[in-house]
Structure 1
Amino acid sequence: MSTSTKPIAAPAIPILENGDRLSRAEFERRYAAMPAARAELIEGIVYMASPVRFAQHGEPHAEFIIWLGNYKVATPGLRIGDNASVRLDLDNEPQPDICLFLDPERGGQAGISEDGYIEGAPELVAEVASSSVSIDLGPKLDAYRRNGVREYLVWRVLDGAFDWFVLREERFEPLSPDSEGILKSLVFPGLWLDPTALLAADMPRVLAVLNQGVASPEHAAFVERLRGASA
């Protein structure tokens, strides 16, 4: 007597897998069916997140948020996102660690779609990376540059280094610190950072330098400009 084995039914919506080459629409369809997953579409290729370690990612990520979040509180008209998917173009939907952007009503270049996604390039994107060989400094950097992210920050934890890129003539160039070693945003006046203090986890110093920036005449003028744009 012969027996037959029933074929295993394929899932109604295929799961995402590392290396899949998908359109953005198909990526979103599959991603929506996997609520426990974290994935990005970079240059048409799917990248699935690995387990997140505390010292290598979780803690630096939180310290990034503390710094940028304090700036956001002091500056009207800003939006901040943590791990929010961004529709950059038809081949790229990254999920950056943090993004900071102006409200479109105040001249921002990114907005929120009807279905709740960020659409367009946030003015500033921040990523926590393991090292210089990370995707964050490879194809993702190219996608951010090409789509007009104006400032791109990468904390390379294992390298003990911090990169701050600014977009100039369609190229990312390193932002130079001032004579005291302070990095000062060209897009968000008053967003100041002591990278040495950040890498040393000296958050009181990080916030003290930020507070100096927020108290600067440049930041006051920026706030007035944003309030005027809203009016």
Structure 2
Amino acid sequence: MKAIEQVPKTALDVFRLLPEGTLCEVIDNVLYMSPAPKYMHQNLLFLLAKRIDNYLEQTAKGQVIISPFDVYFENLLSAVQPDLLVLLNESKDILKNDGYIHGAPDLVIEVLSADKKRDTVQKKNLYEKAGVKEYFVVEPETREMTAWVLTDGTYQLQYTQVGLFKSALLSFEFEF
């Protein structure tokens, strides 16, 4: 265990002191802890990641990263662990030498869990402010996917549909 040399001033400072792999996020300088995801959540996450990753590998457009993985928005006093993110080749410069992303991934998918408000309101607002181009949330039990696209700095609802992933950014869609 490392000694704390300086008293943390923000929730983001506290977050940086936590052990690697801690299921925790900071949104607008508020620290949120989470339990481990349930089976249905992880099963759906794996399915989505596999399909999108296969496509990105075939097209050589970018890569998929799944949680737990830290994404920092220092200017917004936030650090989150999106369930799935896509980093296109032209955005790879936000993957820094510390091994984390500092800035907005191109696309984010959150598989909803018990605290739906965090994903559908707080994280949606954060991703919009940060500049994430496409944001998706999916309900694991019904497989209802809702998609927003960033247009002129504001999210516009693209669709809500059961079992459909459709990304204009990736030029890719599939049913699940």
TM-score normalised per structure 2: 0.83
Contact 1:110 1:122 in 2 (8 A): no
Out of 145, 153, 158, which is 1:170 matched to? 153
Contact 1:124 1:152 in 2 (8 A): yes
Instruction: Report sequence identity in percent.
Output: 25
Contact 2:146 2:159 in 1 (8 A): no
CA positional deviation for 1:136: 0.5
Asked whether 1:24 is paired with 2:12, we answer yes
Structure 1 unaligned spans of 5+? 1-10, 14-20, 199-231
Structure number with larger C-alpha Rg: 1
Asked whether 1:100 is paired with 2:50, we answer no
Aligned length in residues: 169
Q: Which runs of 4+ in 1 moved over 4 A?
A: none
Q: Secondary structure at the match of 1:61?
A: helix
Q: Secondary structure at the match of 1:116?
A: coil
**Which runs of structure 2 are paired with 1:82-121 in the superposition (5 Å)?**
82-83=66-67, 84-90=69-75, 91-103=77-89, 107-108=90-91, 111-121=94-104
Out of 185, 189, 192, which is 2:173 matched to? 192
Question: Hey, which of these two has a bigger chunk of strand by percent?
Answer: 2
Out of 132, 139, 144, which is 1:156 matched to? 139
- What CA deviation, in whole Å up to 9, does each residue of 1:9-50 have, x standing for no partner? xx944xxxxxxx83434421x12xx23521111111111121
The residue type paired with residue 193 of structure 1 is F
What is the alpha-carbon root mean square deviation over aligned residues? 2.7
**Which runs of structure 2 are paired with 1:37-48 in the superposition (5 Å)?**
37-48=22-33
Distance in 1 separating the partners of 2:38 and 2:166: 30
The residue type paired with residue 73 of structure 1 is E
Q: Tell me the residue number matched to 1:66.
A: 50
